């Protein structure tokens, strides 16, 4: 790999790669109000997007630096993939090693893990709606850090606009409370020290549980009294976004928040919903592949299951245009995230997939999780252990499937000599923002952008709204 990588300078289309920039091209680079480095190029004609290309612009290499490490360290190292969803990585890493060892954790450990992860979901969903999304729909104050802002297609009247901007500010404090909740139970946030192979390192005292209930009640009151009504308000002001940004329509959830030791019962279950389906199908992990045909990798196969995955950077792949691989299920792109989870769980009826469906499902999920957390706090036994010391297996393999706030997350671990022999991470944003695969099929975001209005190419706010509805995190996606 060259010492200095100059990203993404392509002058020719090489079959499935972005065409040269013309007067019909809009390039947003970087896309802001998300984590990491995302570039989106769209071609437009007749006032609508005709093709889109999504590119992750930074390589990181966490999988490679895990090789040879003590597998217990993965729960802490992989949390550094991201400051927004670290807890989910800690969870997936623990689950992968525990699967390799064939163990399950105590009831207290399960509850404490659910609670810390739940607190991170609440923080993340509030962050996404108020601080990453809303500025694309309201007229923000004419001052830093909001100015300059788009002026095209901003619809709220003065009173609604003021209400939403006020809530933007209030939500900063509520996000802090959600993080405090995680810190009460997990030692600190965002990167918890409580997630260890074999359980959770601390069981909260009765006093800590009471404090956590109090903080949680405040967060839940904001979700139900402010967040949900604000999403309704936005959906009412922008009703056309219930029909924009649908995409392939396939939804996938790995499931999360175990309600029993075996993990067979979950608050948000595992399931697959191909477009239009109303009853979820089982998920077969063997059907998952990642293609690098249009990615800057040389992995020596058209597509690999993550159990056999490689991470061999190749910035010179002439067909590449992203540092994201292209995950597929049975060769088909699937959208992951709150809409997938809530629909698989039966909590979000219908078959519609759109920008507003994503926002509505995310808010409804925040309320559902916060309520479940109240119950989990009540179930903790402060006198019972949370951690069971267990030997690390010398060899074997395990898969840890869970959900991060943005969707299905998996860690694939292989052990040799008691160390990490191979580690592969498959993140939600890699599913959602993937480039084309070996068959040339666009990823979910790339497909969802097709047909999006582009009324004012100088202010492509419609394109931005579709992108943001997925809540992308490119730090996770490239890991
Ligand atoms: Ni970096 Fe992450 C993603 C979530 S999971 S925010 O995508 O949610 O790795």
Percentage of the chain exceeding pLDDT 70: 97
Identify the helix (H) or strand (E) that includes residue 345.
none
Percentage of the chain exceeding pLDDT 90: 94
Task: Quote the mean pLDDT of the chain.
Answer: 95
Q: What is the tens place of the pLDDT at every residue in 328-344?
A: 999 999 999 999 999 99
Over residues 195-218, the mean pLDDT reads 97
Q: Is 473 in the pocket of ligand 1 (CB under 6 A)?
A: yes
Over residues 9-14, the mean pLDDT reads 39
Residue 428 Cα to ligand 1 midpoint, Å, equals: 6
Q: Which atom of ligand 1 is nearest to the CA of 430?
A: 7
Structure tokens given for 85: 């969803």
Structure tokens given for 114: 């659910």
Q: Considering only 16-20, 91-95, 354-358, 389-393, which range has the smallest mean pLDDT?
A: 16-20
Q: What is the tens place of the pLDDT at every residue in 354-382?
A: 999 999 999 999 999 999 999 999 999 99
Over residues 238-261, the mean pLDDT reads 97
Whether the predicted pLDDT of 478 surpasses 80: yes
- Calpha distance 294→304 (Å, rounded): 14
Whether the predicted pLDDT of 472 surpasses 50: yes
Residue 456 Cα to ligand 1 midpoint, Å, equals: 31
Dihedral-angle region of residue 117 (phi above 0 means left; psi in -120 to 50 means alpha; beta otherwise): alpha
Q: Are 478 and 82 in contact (CB under 8 A)?
A: no
Phi, psi for 387 (deg, rounded to 5):
-130, 135
- 10: confidence class by pLDDT, cuts 50, 70, 90: very low
Question: Residue 316: how many CB atoms within 10 A of its CB?
Answer: 11
- Whole-prediction pTM value? 0.96
Q: Is 35 in the pocket of ligand 1 (CB under 6 A)?
A: yes
Q: Which long-range contacts (CB under 8 A, 24 or more apart) does 151-158 make?
A: 151/459, 152/455, 152/456, 152/459, 152/461, 153/455, 153/461, 153/462, 155/237, 155/238, 156/233, 156/237
Phi, psi for 362 (deg, rounded to 5):
-65, -45
Whether the predicted pLDDT of 4 surpasses 50: no
Residue corresponding to tokens 């279950």: 269
Over residues 298-310, the mean pLDDT reads 93
Number of helical (H) and strand (E) elements in the chain, helices listed first: 13, 15
Rg (the chain; Cα; Å): 22
Residue 15: per-residue pLDDT: 54
Residue 13: per-residue pLDDT: 42
Q: Is 477 in the pocket of ligand 1 (CB under 6 A)?
A: yes
**Burial readout 322-336 (b: 16 or more C-beta within 10 A, e: otherwise):** bbbbbbbbeebbbbb
- Calpha distance 237→384 (Å, rounded): 51
Residue corresponding to tokens 């022999």: 421
Residue 9: per-residue pLDDT: 37
- Give me the DSSP letters along 274-292: -TT--SPBPP-GGGEEEE-
Q: Considering only 12-16, 149-153, 399-403, which range has the smallest mean pLDDT?
A: 12-16
Higher pLDDT: 107 or 148? It is 107
If one residue of 85, 358, 412, 433 were mutated to test the ligand 1 pocket, choosing by the most ligand atoms within 8 A of its CB, it would be 85
Q: Is 93 in the pocket of ligand 1 (CB under 6 A)?
A: no
Nearest to 465 by CA among 139, 31, 26: 31
Which value, to the nearest 10 degrees, does the dihedral of the CA atoms of residues 66, 72, 76, 80 take? 20
């Amino acid at each position: 790999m060259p010492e200095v990588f100059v990203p993404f300078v392509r002058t020719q289309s090489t079959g499935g790669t972005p065409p040269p920039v013309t007067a019909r091209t809009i390039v947003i680079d970087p896309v802001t109000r998300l984590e990491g480095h995302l570039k989106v190029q769209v071609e437009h004609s007749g006032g609508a997007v005709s093709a889109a290309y999504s590119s992750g612009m930074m390589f990181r290499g966490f999988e490679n630096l895990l090789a040879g490490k003590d597998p217990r360290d993965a729960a802490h190292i992989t949390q550094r993939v991201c400051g927004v969803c670290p807890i989910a990585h800690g969870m997936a890493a623990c689950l992968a090693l525990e699967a390799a060892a064939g163990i399950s954790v105590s009831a207290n450990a399960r509850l404490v893990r659910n609670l810390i992860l739940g607190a991170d979901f609440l923080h993340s969903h509030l962050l996404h709606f108020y601080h990453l999304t809303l500025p694309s729909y309201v007229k923000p104050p004419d001052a830093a850090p909001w100015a300059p802002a788009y002026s095209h297609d901003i619809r709220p009247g003065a009173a609604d606009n003021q209400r939403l901007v006020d809530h933007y500010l209030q939500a900063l404090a509520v996000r802090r409370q959600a993080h405090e909740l995680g810190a009460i139970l997990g030692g600190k946030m965002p990167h918890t020290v409580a997630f260890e192979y074999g359980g959770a390192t601390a069981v909260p005292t009765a006093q800590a549980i009471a404090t956590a209930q109090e903080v949680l009640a405040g967060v839940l009151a904001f979700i139900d009294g402010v967040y949900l009504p604000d999403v309704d308000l936005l959906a009412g002001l922008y009703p056309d976004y219930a029909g924009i940004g649908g995409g392939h329509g396939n939804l996938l959830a790995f499931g999360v928040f175990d309600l029993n030791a075996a993990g067979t019962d979950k608050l948000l279950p595992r399931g697959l919903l191909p477009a239009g389906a109303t009853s979820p199908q089982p998920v077969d992990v063997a059907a998952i592949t990642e293609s690098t045909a249009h990615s800057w990798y040389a992995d020596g196969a058209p597509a690999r299951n993550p159990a056999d995955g490689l991470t061999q950077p190749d910035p010179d792949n002439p067909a590449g245009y992203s540092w994201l691989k292209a995950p597929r299920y049975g060769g088909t792109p699937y959208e992951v995230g709150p809409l997938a989870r809530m629909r698989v769980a039966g909590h979000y009826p219908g078959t519609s997939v759109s920008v507003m469906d994503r926002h509505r499902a995310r808010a409804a999920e925040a309320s559902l999780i916060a309520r479940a957390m109240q119950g989990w706090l009540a179930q903790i036994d402060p006198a019972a252990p949370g951690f069971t010391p267990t030997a690390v297996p010398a060899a074997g393999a395990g898969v840890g499937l869970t959900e991060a706030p943005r969707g299905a997350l998996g860690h694939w671990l292989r052990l040799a000599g008691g160390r990490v022999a191979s580690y592969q991470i498959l993140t939600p944003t890699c599913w959602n923002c993937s480039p084309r695969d070996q068959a040339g099929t666009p990823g979910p975001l790339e497909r969802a952008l097709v047909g999006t209005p582009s009324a004012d190419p100088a202010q492509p706010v419609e394109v931005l709204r579709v992108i943001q509805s997925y809540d992308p995190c490119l730090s996770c996606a490239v890991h």
